[in-house]
Amino acid sequence: MQTSIQSRPAGMEAQPRGAIMAAGAGGAAQYITCTLDAAEYGIDILSVREIKGWSETTALPHAPAWVRGVINLRGTIVPILDLRARFGLGPTAATAMHVVVIIQTATRMAGLLVDSVSDIITVAPEDVRAVPEIGTGVPERLLAGLIPREGSMVSLVSLDNLINLPDADLAPGLPATLS
Q: What CATH number was assigned to the domain covering residues 2-162?
A: 2.40.50.180
Domain chopping of the chain, boundaries: 2-162
Nearest-CA neighbor of 140 among 19, 53, 39? 19
Residue 19 CA to residue 118 CA, distance in Å, equals 21
Query: Which of residues 167 and 86 earns the better pLDDT score?
Result: 86
CB 160 within 8 A of CB 103: no
Residue 55 CA to residue 159 CA, distance in Å, equals 22
pLDDT of residue 133: 80
Helix (H, G, I), strand (E, B) or coil at 161: helix
Evaluate if residue 68 carries a pLDDT over 80: yes
User: Lowest mean pLDDT: which of 5-14, 39-48, 89-98, 119-128?
Assistant: 5-14
User: Lowest mean pLDDT: which of 46-50, 61-65, 117-121?
Assistant: 61-65
Query: Which of residues 16 and 28 earns the better pLDDT score?
Result: 28
CB 126 within 8 A of CB 6: no
119-142 in b/e burial notation, b at 16+ Cβ within 10 A? eebbbbbebbbbbeeeeeebebbb
103-117: per-residue pLDDT in tens? 999 889 999 999 999
Helix (H, G, I), strand (E, B) or coil at 127: helix
